[in-house]
Structures are given as structure tokens and as C-alpha cells.
Amino acid sequence: MTGNAAAAVAALQQALAAEQAAAYGYGVVGAHLMGSAAAASADADWVAHLRAGSELTTMISAWGGQPVAAAVAYELPFPVISAATAQQLAATMEDRVAQAYLVVVALPEAGLRSFGAQQVRAAALRAEAWRGTTEAFPGMRASNPRR
Amino acid sequence: MTDETPVGDARSGGPTGVSRRGLLVAASAALPALLAGCKGVQALGTPPPPPREIRVLRAAITAEELMVARYSAALTRLPTSNAGLLAAVRAVQAEHAAHLGQLRSRLVEPAGAPAPTAARAPAVAVGSSPGTVLGALEQAEQTASNRLLEQLAVLPPTLAQLFASIAASEATHVPFLQQARAEAG
């Protein structure tokens, strides 16, 4: 594997891991939003993460890597006990997904950069929908003062 | 050559420091250097175009300046009675100011670079409805976001990340403003 391929696989694996964690998290989110108007959004976002994960799996194989397997369960960043905390979890997972894809944007291959950037944007849009507020620098760590 | 150049050394009375022949050799040796110097001056007259990434970064800075100006113009056209809408528009403008700060910090201008011209936002007609004003902003946001994503390939990695992040932020301003508009009624 060349240096470029190794870097691409490493970044894509991180993105895949973030997608798998998000797909798991949306299961928890959906359970707490059942019957509410937001349930359909949770479903749609869950499907988006499953699709992205499947796309990443294909890409990683194409780059000569072995896609990481999803964990059976993931530790949630905070207890989800209500519809409000469920929505907070959805937004937090989108932040993490955006962070992972921003690493893909730093790769030299134009195609991967473009893919990563589109995914950062998609995650930021989903985070905005859950949170109702925007950020100046989605996907960048420690540079976003929360408002 | 100036008057101070020591030619011979008659007044000091010592042996000739630099012979006439030596001077001629020195002069001819200096000639190519002098010509090269002239060439250098010519090259300064028509500087080579800056690297593509610098041009792309400058364009992004100009676009953000324009965006900040657009919001300033929009703020003068929105009804002051609608505090929620004004707050939303100001919040988005503040994010553009943050984008602008980050983009400017990445640009190291060579000495003697032309000063940037102030961005001028397209005028917003007096009496425009909040819907028209915000609709124009939403359209500008989407266009700006797409434009940044088109530029990624030519940029160094960290600048590509900044562009991608700002593009994502600008895209989120569209539903955010739409929501603010819906809540304003």
C-alpha cells in the first residue's frame, strides 16, 4: 500500500467508525422520539448514515483496506432520557461525523476531498436541523464557541 | 561609479592600490551583474501571477467581505420591530465575520501587494419585504457554499479543510434563515 493509500484508508476508516456510531446512536434517538414529529427526521438521518457507511465500506475496499466492523454497542456521550436529550445526541453525533470527514478533506486526492467536504456539509445541515442553531466552523474541533 | 571610488592612490603616495587594468576587469565583471539587475527591475514591473491557491484565497476573502456587507445592507431593510429576525440575521453575520478573520489569517501578502478594494454589496431596494431580503441572502449563501467546494483541489490540506468547513457553515445558514423567516410570519 502506498503512503497515499494508507492515509486514505486511515481517514476513511475513521469516517466509517463515526458513521457506525451515528447509526447506532440514531437507534437510541428514534426510540425516544417515537410518535413525535421529529421521528421521521431521525429515521431519514439514520438511513443517511447507513448509506454513507456502506459507501465508505466500498471505498475502503477499493483503496485496498479492510473495512472496520461496527461494534455491537457504543457508549453514549451522555445519558439519553428524554426527547430533548435524544435531539442533543443526534446533533452531537453529527458534529463527530463532520469532524471525521474533515480529515478526509485533507487528503490529496481531489475525489476524496470533494466527497469528504460534501459529507461535512451534509452532517452540518443535519446538526443544524436538530439544534436549530448554526456554527461558524463545523467539523473543526475547539474552534466553535457554542451559542 | 561615484567620486568616492578610489582610482589610483596618488594622494596617499603609496603604491597604486588598484591598477587601471584591474579596474577595467572589475568593471566588465560588474556589467553582467548590472544587466541582471536591470532584468530584475523589469521582472518587478510585471510580477508573475501569484500561485493559484493565493488567488483562490483572495477570491474567498473578497466573497466573505461581500457577504458581511450584504448582511449590513439587509439589516437596514428589515423592520426593527422584529427582534427575533434581526437577532438571527446578526448571528449569521457574526459567523461570516469569523470566516473572514480565519481566511485573512491564512493570507500572507508579499510586500507591495495591491491593497484590497472594499467589497460593495448589491443594493437592497427600499421597501423590500423581509421575505425578499432573506430570500436573497439564502441564495447568496448557497452560491457561496458551492463556490468554496469547487475550489478544494488546488488548496493545501489545511486550507481545504477551512474552505470545506466554511462551505458547510454557509449551507446551514439557508435553513436557519428560512426558519427565522417562518417564525417571523
Q: For residue range A105-115, list pLDDT tens digits in order.
A: 999 999 999 99
pLDDT at position B115, please?
Answer: 57
Same domain, B24 and B113: no
Q: Is the pLDDT of residue A3 over 90?
A: no
- Cell digits of residue A8: 486514505
- Chosen domain end from B11, B33, B48: B48
B52-93 pLDDT tens trace: 999 999 999 999 999 999 999 999 999 999 999 999 999 999
Between A57 and B18, the more confident residue is A57
The tally of domains found in chain A comes to: 1
Could you tell me if A131 lies within 8 Å of chain B, comparing CB atoms?
Answer: no
Same domain, B90 and B123: yes
Q: Is the pLDDT of residue B31 over 50?
A: no
DSSP state of A57: H
> Is A144 among the domain residues?
no
A74-132 pLDDT tens trace: 999 999 999 999 999 999 999 999 999 999 999 999 999 999 999 999 999 999 999 99
> Is A142 among the domain residues?
no
A19-54 pLDDT tens trace: 999 999 999 999 999 999 899 999 999 999 999 999
Contacts of A64 (CB under 8 A, 6+ apart): A1, A5, A9
pLDDT at position B33, please?
Answer: 45
Mutation site for B-interface testing, chosen from A105, A125, A135 by largest number of B Cβ within 10 Å: A105
B5-15 pLDDT tens trace: 333 333 444 44
Measure CB to CB from residue A121 to each of B102, B153, B167 and give the nearest one. Answer: B167
Same domain, B42 and B64: no
Nearest to A59 by CA among A98, A102, A15, A125: A15
Between A20 and B42, the more confident residue is A20
> Is A30 among the domain residues?
yes
Which CATH number characterizes residue B130's domain? Answer: 1.20.1260.10
Q: Are the beta carbons of B161 and A105 separated by less than 8 Å?
A: yes
Could you tell me if A97 lies within 8 Å of chain B, comparing CB atoms?
Answer: no
Same domain, B5 and B62: no
Same domain, B41 and B90: no
- This prediction's pTM: 0.82
Same domain, B31 and B60: no
Contacts of A69 (CB under 8 A, 6+ apart): none
CA separation for the pair B96, B91 (Å, rounded): 9
CA separation for the pair A144, A138 (Å, rounded): 8
Same domain, B102 and B11: no
- Report whether A132 contacts B179 (CB < 8 A): yes
Tell me the mean pLDDT in the region B114-131: 72
pLDDT at position B116, please?
Answer: 59
> Is A53 among the domain residues?
yes
For residue B172, the chain A residue with the least C-alpha distance is A125
Same domain, B59 and B103: yes
**Using a CB-CB distance cutoff of 8 angstroms, which residues of chain B are in contact with residue A139?**
161, 164-165, 168
pLDDT at position B111, please?
Answer: 60
B137-185 pLDDT tens trace: 999 999 999 999 999 999 999 999 999 999 999 999 999 999 999 988 7
Q: Concatenate the DSSP letters of all residues of B7-25 into one string.
A: -S-TTTTSS-SS-HHHHHH
**Using a CB-CB distance cutoff of 8 angstroms, which residues of chain A are in contact with residue B91?**
133-134, 147
Mean pLDDT over the full length of chain B: 79
Name the residue range of residue B83's domain.
52-184
CA separation for the pair B61, B59 (Å, rounded): 5
Measure CB to CB from residue A125 to each of B153, B158, B172 and give the nearest one. Answer: B172
Which CATH number characterizes residue A46's domain? Answer: 1.20.1260.10
CA separation for the pair A131, A92 (Å, rounded): 9
The shortest C-alpha distance from A126 to chain B (Å) reads: 9
> Which range among A59-63, B16-20, B96-100 shows the weakest confidence by mean pLDDT?
B16-20
- Cell digits of residue A99: 469532524
Same domain, B59 and B113: yes
Same domain, B160 and B178: yes
Q: At B19, is the pLDDT very low, low, confident or very high (cuts 50, 70, 90)?
A: very low
pLDDT at position A129, please?
Answer: 98
Angle of the A39-62 helix axis to the A3-33 helix axis, nearest 10: 160
Name the residue range of residue A86's domain.
3-68+81-131
Same domain, B81 and B37: no
Contacts of B148 (CB under 8 A, 6+ apart): B60, B163, B164, B166, B167, B170
DSSP state of A106: T
Measure CB to CB from residue A134 to each of B157, B163, B173 and give the nearest one. Answer: B173
Could you tell me if B105 lies within 8 Å of chain A, comparing CB atoms?
Answer: no
Percent of all residues in chain B with a pLDDT value above 70, rounded to a whole number: 69
The tally of domains found in chain B comes to: 2
Same domain, B77 and B145: yes
